[in-house]
A = this chain, B = another copy of it.
Amino acid sequence: MTMIQDLLPQIESELQRQIARLDEPRTRPFHEMLTYHMGWTGEGAGPEAQGKRIRPLLVLLTCAACNADWKAALPAAAAVELVHNFSLVHDDIQDNSGKRRGRDSVWVKWGMPQGINAGDALFVLSNQAILDLASNHPAEIVIKAAKILHNTCLDLTRGQYLDMSYEQRTDLTIEDYWPMVSAKTAALLAACCALGSLLSEVDEATQEAYRDFGHYLGLAFQVQDDLLGIWGDSTLTGKSAESDLVSRKKSLPVLFSLGKEGPFARRWAEGPVRPEEVTGLAEQLAAEGARLYTQETADQMTDLALQSLRIADPQGDAGEALFELANKLLNREG
């Protein structure tokens, strides 16, 4: 993955440049909240704390695979990563989650009010980043790019609304799964590929194929994440407290079995699952067909993703890197 290794430092420095808008004497501690969250400063800073930067990589690789200059797309790459991180900062507050990439969440370190504001700032910075495309792209294209970004952000709030509202509901089925994960996970990955190809000014059919690739990649990734959240090696042995069954996540296998209204659904309705029940309940889910269904769905989404990517016909090293990235994301171990 040599091309990816070349892109990562460029992504990091573009992100730093965007976030430096807050690097002024009076707001230096505010700037520090963001550089901490991005994994650059503070305790535990380093590559582990920075995340994989999948989204900006998708933007740049798509661009390069369309034979365009990926450097000119850097502001868009920064924008999608800033959006992703804005949503993480707010998510952690909404889920009362104290850890992010192994370190204290922003709100734990600086309090909830400053945490909300730090998330808001990341969001603003993403809007500013996307308009920086204007130095290398025609104004009409910049507006199209900004529209893609904003539509995606609205999808994120829709997905977040659905996810949170599902916590109170007891009448869910797999029908309720797709609108949530399409908006919460797949929309941003689709936007990355849509942006990369838009900025390359390839034909609309190709842009559509790249967008579909990102969309199905997001769905495949999410479904596989759901599978590992219950039957992954670490969630079955030793770390059962981290099982999605304990956190009551409305994942695909859970929604599948809730729709069956069998023993799993009856146990689920009784309330929180204790870590010592996890192994047995995972077996019950599998017996009701949830594991097979989830695995088949993951495979199906993976096929659709790779099929879309083949239609897009990505070129050169970047094209190879896109297939590698997809395979790496979708074949990971639990």
Contact = CB atoms under 8 A, between A and B. Distances in A.
| Copies of this chain, whole number | 2
Contacts of A151: 128
A29 interface: yes
B154 A125 contact: yes
Nearest to A128: B150
Judged by DSSP, the binding face of A is: helix
A2 to B, nearest CB: 36
Nearest to A86: B120
A157 B90 contact: no
A143 B156 CA distance: 23
B128 A160 contact: no
Contact of A116 (B90, B134, B156): B90
A216 interface: no
A150 B124 contact: yes
A93 interface: yes
B139 A117 contact: no
Interface string A11-24: 00000000001100
A75 to B, nearest CB: 13
Contact of A162 (B26, B95, B120, B123): B26
A121 B179 contact: no
Contacts of A29: 165
A128 B143 CA distance: 10
Contacts of A142: 139, 143
Interface residues of A, number: 44
Contact of A154 (B116, B124, B165): B124
Given A27-B162, A153-B124, A158-B22, A116 B143 contact: no
Given A30-B158, A90-B117, A113-B164, A143 B124 contact: no
A154 B93 contact: no
Contact of A139 (B143, B150, B160): B143
Contact of A93 (B26, B113, B139, B164): B113
A138 B138 CA distance: 12
A154 B112 CA distance: 19
B143 A134 contact: yes
Contacts of A71: none
Nearest to A111: B164
Closest 9 CB pairs of A and B: A139-B139, A94-B113, A121-B157, A30-B161, A124-B153, A127-B150, A124-B154, A128-B150, A139-B140
